[in-house]
Each structure stands twice: as C-alpha cells, then as structure tokens.
Amino acid sequence: MAFLALSLGAACVLGAQAQPAVASGPLPGPVTPPAHTPGPGTPTTAHLRISEGQVGEVGPGGTLIYPSVTSCLTVTVRLRDGGKVGAHASLFQVPGEYRSDRILAAVKQRIGARGVRVVKVRGAVGAWHPSYFAKAIESYAEGEQIPVPTEPDPGGLARVVADALGEPRVKVTVEDLPDGDQTVD
C-alpha cells in the first residue's frame, strides 16, 4: 500500500472547489479559515470536490466527491439539517492545505453549533495510526519514532474522530474502502 499519494491537480467539479486551508499557525488552538471562506451553514454548491487536505460543505441534497482516495481517510459529517461537511485527510500534508493533525479542528469549526446526525470515516484504515490526527507524520523530528500501524484500528480512529469533533463515539463509523474516488450523496 502506498503511503504517499498526493493529488496535486485542480479541485473542481461544476465550478465548485473546497475551501483553501490555513495550514500554518501554532498548535493547539483554533483553526481560522481564510477570509473568503463561507462560515458554518453557508454551503456554496450542490456538488463539491474535496481534494487531499481540504474541508468543504454542501447543503441538503448536495454531493461530496473525494478523488483518488488511496492512502487517505475521508471524514463526512451528516448534519441534522441534511447538509454535509467533509474532509479529505492525507497522510502527508499537501502544500497549502491542512495537515492531518489540524483537519479535524477545521471540520469542527465548520460544523459550528449545528447538530450532527452521524460521522462516517472511510478510506485506507490500515494505513492510519489514530495518533496521526493528533501529530502529523511530518511534524516528527529527525530520529523521532513515528508510530506505524501494525493492523487496522477502526475503533481507535473512531474514538479520536469522535473526541476531536465533540461527538459521542456511537455516532462515528469507520469503513475500510479500496482505492478510488468516493462519492457521498
């Protein structure tokens, strides 16, 4: 399984694009979206392509498209109002996008105070150690031991995602999916 799969192409479908990320700043702390990013509850399109390291949102009836999910995980939050907030977490940071240890904070900020029905985590479950959401692979110093998964840990991933989003563990499901594009209607 390839651990480095960066998609550097443009992210657009029907003129829609996930919002640019703010990848710098001190940890821990709030993740601040760019000034032109719509706030919670203001999805910009019915179809949205979310590439690696990006977070985006569609309203009720909208579709999220996650391209080329190989070594990545996707996090889709289904809101009570029918909308969806999605994130495409990459093992390694794509320049200018969110690192794995900042992407869940961006999702939480995007959700705001809105109610969450369920959270679905899908992708290369066996490639991810749950700690990658707390400390990104590229943040380890030279010679520092990077945790490597010895087997898939869907329970650990679900627990970390639930905690980061402030949701009960029972709302989070984890599914290992083969390589390819993911579409969530």
Question: What are 83-136's pLDDT values in tens digits?
Answer: 999 999 999 999 999 999 999 999 999 999 999 999 999 999 999 999 999 999
Q: Quick one: average pLDDT of 68-75?
A: 97
pLDDT given at position 18? 55
Name residues whose C-beta falls within 8 Å of residue 3's C-beta, 6 or more positions apart in sequence.
Answer: 71, 91, 92, 127
Residue 65 and residue 13 in contact, taking contact as beta carbons nearer than 8 Å: yes
Q: Specify the 3-state DSSP secondary structure of 22.
A: coil
pLDDT of residue 108: 98
Buried b (16+ CB within 10 A) or exposed e, 96-117: ebbbbbbbbbbbbbbbeeeebe
pLDDT computed for residue 31 by the predictor: 42
Residue type at 145 in one-letter notation = Q
* pLDDT given for residue 17 in this prediction: 45
> What pLDDT is stored for residue 3 in this prediction?
34
> pLDDT digit string (tens) for 23-37?
333 443 334 343 333
Q: How confident is the model at residue 16 (pLDDT cuts 50, 70, 90)?
A: very low
Strands 63-69 and 180-184: antiparallel
Average pLDDT over residues 151-156: 98
What integer pLDDT is reported at residue 43 of this predicted model?
56
Distance CA 53, CA 142 (A): 23
> What angle in degrees, to the nearest 10, is found between the helix axes of 103-111 and 154-165?
50
pLDDT band, very low/low/confident/very high, at 178 (cuts 50, 70, 90) = confident
Can you give the pTM of this predicted structure?
A: 0.79
Residue 88 and residue 104: Cα distance in Å, rounded?
10
pLDDT value of residue 44 = 54
Residue with tokens 């999805």, as numbered in its chain: 43
Confidence band for 57, pLDDT divided at 50, 70 and 90:
very high
